[in-house]
Structure 1
Amino acid sequence: MSAEFGGRSGRQSRLSQWLRGRRPKPAADEGGREALLLAAADAGLPLAPAAHPAPGYRCSCDRVGCPTPARHPVSFAWQTQSTTERAQIERWACHQPQANFITATGMVHDVLDVPLDAGREALTRLLDAGVEVGPVAESDDGRMLFFTLTRGTPEDEDEWWPCELDCHPETMDEHPGLRWHCRGSYVLVPPARLPGDDDRSVHWVRGPEHPLPDPLSLLEYLTDSCARHIGEQSDHPGTAWPLRR
């Protein structure tokens, strides 16, 4: 009987080892993804999970012909879902290892979003002039993102002022030049992957450890660079400001 018990125990032990070996291993945190996300949250940027690239320049969402593949939140409730809570972000990063993340603007920070060449020129001029510049990200789809303090949460709601540059996800095409992401908008936060087979990404040029500046201190430099660079393009002459329809 003891031999039978020992044999059964041995088989169970081998079965347990086999089952343990078949369990999926946690995905490696390539490039310190979780650490970068937590650093953004620690800087006050509220985060929420977003879609990620799928093979063939497709999106991980189930929408046929998604117009913004890998660039939109997973949940329609992204504004209320967005958080800086470390434990929640760690859970999302662990359970959704391929997900990009967005940061909701107009709560703590805004983002001034400009064409890449104009942004690089403006960044050089700003630093040379000694202007305080906060976090800056580059997107390999040709944009540069300047993170600033928000104008979206005045103490008195009557002091809220809309701006012609205000941009929302559904109005991107109207803003080929400078886009001001404030209330009701979002951007991808680094590290994020873009569709395609060439490892395109959104990545920090200046990390979230830099304090958020007043957006108005950057605006003149950015609009000037946008007007110059976009004015040289034949498709949208002079469209540093929104297009009219």
Structure 2
Amino acid sequence: MSGTFDGRSGRQGKLSQWLRGRRPKEAAAADDGGREALLLAAAEAGLPLAPAAYPAPGYRCSCDRVGCPTPARHPVSFAWQTQSTIDRPQIERWARHQPQANFITATGMVHDVLDVPAQAGREALDRLLAQGVEVGPVAESGDGRMLFFTLTRGTPEDEDEWWPCELDCHPETMAEHPGLRWHCRGSYVLVPPARLPGDDDRQVRWLRGPEHPLPEPLTLLESLTDACARHAAGDSTPDLGRPWPLHN
């Protein structure tokens, strides 16, 4: 399944050629069908979805807010947390009635997302797979980030244990987790397939699809924080002996 998500399989290449040879209306319908299938696959994996903005001409956002700080990256409704759902009929209605919309998935309900610079993410992913670690769904964003989907931390008995998602400085310090963003309760990320403002290749796409089981976040965190620290220091050479957390 994931082989068709990354756009590099032979069958996907033949599909692209077929689409280029069809009339625009037919091609658009086929594209919509593929988009809908990917969204439903995410929902079937338990990722709650809600409609989001999409790119508009001139590097603008479909929300038409002047100076939108996150063009095509935010929900369309302020009620996105309660609106988010895995209900198939609702997602089908949204996808068909809003054919250009991106979709977000709300974190902290079923899953969290560890969001890292793409270079660090690729290094960590290779390392984790080589070690035989069960890595869950992973998405790559055209704005230079990689998203590692994990199980959520759950609802702690002490509500003070929750941290917000200004990120880069939580749950520890920025020095210990450079470049890492932990999306938990109250946050969201774009779910593939999604389009970003700019060139056509600026997309959010699956590297490992949602058919992969969600792992515990702590099984990935050490490799991700190590890779982020090396990325921040400009050193791409893995240091397999470095302890975690990183202390002075």
AA aligned opposite 2:165: C
Once the 2 structures are TM-superposed, how far is the Cα of residue 158 of structure 1 from its aligned partner?
A: 2.2
Q: TM-score, normalised by structure 2?
A: 0.77
- Report the equivalent of 1:161: 161
Aligned mates of 1:81, 1:136 — CA distance in 2: 24
Q: Are 1:51 and 1:100, in contact at CA under 8 Å, matched by a contact in 2?
A: yes
Q: How does 1:29-178 map to 2 (within 5 A)?
A: 29-30=30-31, 32-154=34-156, 157-158=157-158, 161-162=161-162, 167-168=165-166, 177-178=179-180
CA distance in 1, matches of 2:99, 2:27: 9
Change in Cα spacing, 1:160 to 1:25, as seen in structure 2 (3 Å) is farther
Cα distance change on mapping 1:160 and 1:133 into 2, 3 Å: farther
Secondary structure at 1:167 match in 2: coil
Aligned-residue sequence identity (percent) comes to: 80
Q: Which runs of 4+ in 1 moved over 4 A?
A: 24-27
Deviation at 1:29, TM superposition (A): 4.1
Q: Is 1:217 equivalent to 2:215 in the alignment? A: no
Q: Match of 1:98, as an amino acid?
A: Q
Give the structure-1-normalised TM-score: 0.78
Q: Is the 8 A contact 1:152 1:160 kept in 2?
A: no
- Are the structure 2 counterparts of residues 145 and 34 from structure 1 closer, same or farther at C-alpha, using a change threshold of 3 Å? same
1:45 Cα shift? 0.1
Whichever of the two has the greater Rg, that structure is 1
- Matched residues in 2 for 1:212 and 1:162: separation? 20
Cα 1:75/1:159, change in 2 over 3 Å? closer
Distance 2:75 2:103 in 1: 7
Q: CA deviation at 1:153?
A: 2.6
AA paired with 2:133? V
SS at match of 2:147: strand
Q: Give 1:205's match in structure 2, choosing from 204, 207, 216.
A: 207
- The offset of 1:161, in angstroms, is 2.6
Deviation by residue 1:27-57 (Cα, 9 ceiling, x = unmatched): 5141710000000000000000000000010
Q: 1:194 aligns to what?
A: 196
After superposing the two structures, state which structure 1 stretch, 25-34 or 75-84, moved more: 25-34
Letter in 2 for 1:105: T
How far apart, CA to CA, are the structure 1 residues paired with 2:116 and 2:102? 21
CA contact (8 A) 1:48 1:82 kept: yes
- Higher deviation after alignment, 85-94 or 189-198: 189-198
Deviations 1:54-91 (A, max 9, x none): 00100000211101000000000000000000000000
Change in CA separation of 1:168 and 1:76 when aligned onto 2, cut-off 3 Å: farther
Residues 50, 102 of structure 1: 8 Å contact kept? yes
Unaligned runs of 5+ residues in structure 1 are 1-23, 234-240
Q: CA deviation at 1:152?
A: 3.6
Work out whether residues 119 and 225 of structure 1, in 8 Å CA contact, stay in contact via their aligned partners in 2: yes
Q: Distance in 2 between matches of 1:134 and 1:25?
A: 34
**How far off its partner does 1:198 sit?**
3.5
Measure, in 2, the Cα distance between the counterparts of 1:103 and 1:213. Answer: 17
Secondary structure of 2:29's counterpart equals coil
Please tell me whether the aligned partners of residues 178 and 229 of structure 2 are also in contact (alpha carbons under 8 angstroms).
no
Distance 1:58 1:159 in 2: 38
